[in-house]
Copies of this chain bind each other. A is one copy, B any other.
Amino acid sequence: MTEVMLTDLTKNFPSGARPSVDRLNLTFTSGKIHALLGPSGCGKTTTMKMIAGILQPSAGEITFDGASVLRVRAERRGAVMVFQNHLLFPYMSVGDNVGFALKMRNESRVVIRARVEEMLELVKLPGLADRRPKQLSGGQQQRVALARALIVKPNVLLLDEPLSNLDAHLREDMRELILGIQRQLGITTVFVTHDQEEAVVMADQIALMFDGVLHQNAAPDQFYDCPASERVARFFGNINVLPGTYAGGLFTSARGAFHAPRAAITEGPGSLTIRPEAIRLGRASAETRAANQMDGYVLSHIYKGTHARYKIAAGDLVLEVVTAPEATQLHGDGDTVRLTLPPEKLWVMPRPA
């Protein structure tokens, strides 16, 4: 129920050459789940720490529901954070770790004990309350850290790779736990994950950063359908990018011209992109290519049971195409093929000069 807004947020570390976070403008909508994505070292943790209030921004503003929190101490902000490296209190039992936040609110011992048991149950660690953190496995520690944060009902929940050490099953359970609590209480949640798929599945909105700079902040499918730049497209696993120029709905490239009604620019140099699933693969024929078609030959392909994945060379470009598994009976490595790129699936992005 808290809207977190970052305005020109910047962090320079004394020893860092570049700002670790560079004029970040970003709004985390109240009650939604946001993913913070980006390659290692792009500034995700730094951003979160500034929101939590344990790192002082070098410049910029952070507001919660419109009010600046720069002068509000971390413990008053109501932003709970799960740290990437767990950071359990080593001198406390697991139970005391989980119950820490309640104790800080002077809850009664009985209440704390009951809630702790409940939380440990939820993170599938019942009965470990008396252990010391050191006596837990890596994944168990991570879940304790999660339980410690989830036990309170914060305004803002900041999760820094909270599930990175868990196997698929636990991961799914924990995701559901987080989602459940988030939905029930409408907590504004920001989480970092290195797993795009997780981000896509869990988040209402994804913010993608590179080198401290925000590149796109949008709903998950937007990153596939209309990535903001080639770099964004590639980060989301799409290598199908053609350089060219755009004008009047027509994209002209070394591989031919394409009708592309959807574009982030009106004209000028641009990059054309399309999802691998959207490209249709056909036999190359003597017929002249229709609009939005191009020829290439199969570099390699993999059969994946549920689908097939082709790498197609077209001039100096390599495109990826995903087809139904049956396609493998038609096209083998080295075959010349014709690709059809449906106009409504195309997207033109700006291209830096």
Cα separation A332 to B102 with both chains bound (whole Å): 48
Minimum CB–CB distance for A178 against chain B, Å: 16
Minimum CB–CB distance for A310 against chain B, Å: 12
Q: Is A60 in the interface zone, CB < 8 Å from B?
A: no
Q: In chain A between 124 and 140, which residues have their CB closer than 8 angstroms to a CB of chain B?
A: 131, 135-140
Interface-facing stretch out of A39-47, A106-114, A243-251, A260-268: A39-47
Interface-facing stretch out of A24-32, A70-78, A161-169: A161-169
Q: Are A40 and B140 in contact (CB under 8 A)?
A: yes
Determine which residue in A39, A46, A138, A305 has the highest number of CB atoms from chain B within 10 A of its CB, and name it.
Answer: A138
Q: Are B41 and A137 in contact (CB under 8 A)?
A: yes
Q: Is A15 in the interface zone, CB < 8 Å from B?
A: yes
Interface SS of chain A: loop
Copies of this chain held together in the complex: 2
Collect the chain B residues with CB atoms within 8 Å of residue A38's CB. Answer: 167
Determine which residue in A40, A142, A306, A326 has the highest number of CB atoms from chain B within 10 A of its CB, and name it.
Answer: A40
Pairs A–B under 8 Å by Cβ, sample size 19: A39-B167, A39-B170, A45-B138, A46-B137, A84-B138, A84-B165, A139-B194, A161-B164, A164-B164, A164-B165, A167-B194, A167-B196, A169-B235, A275-B305, A277-B305, A306-B306, A306-B323, A307-B325, A324-B326
Q: In chain A between 1 and 23, which residues have their CB closer than 8 angstroms to a CB of chain B?
A: 13, 15-16
Q: Are A140 and B306 in contact (CB under 8 A)?
A: no
Q: Mark A149-175, 1 if CB is under 8 A from B, else 0.
A: 000000000001100111111110000
Collect the chain B residues with CB atoms within 8 Å of residue A306's CB. Answer: 277, 304, 306-307, 322-324
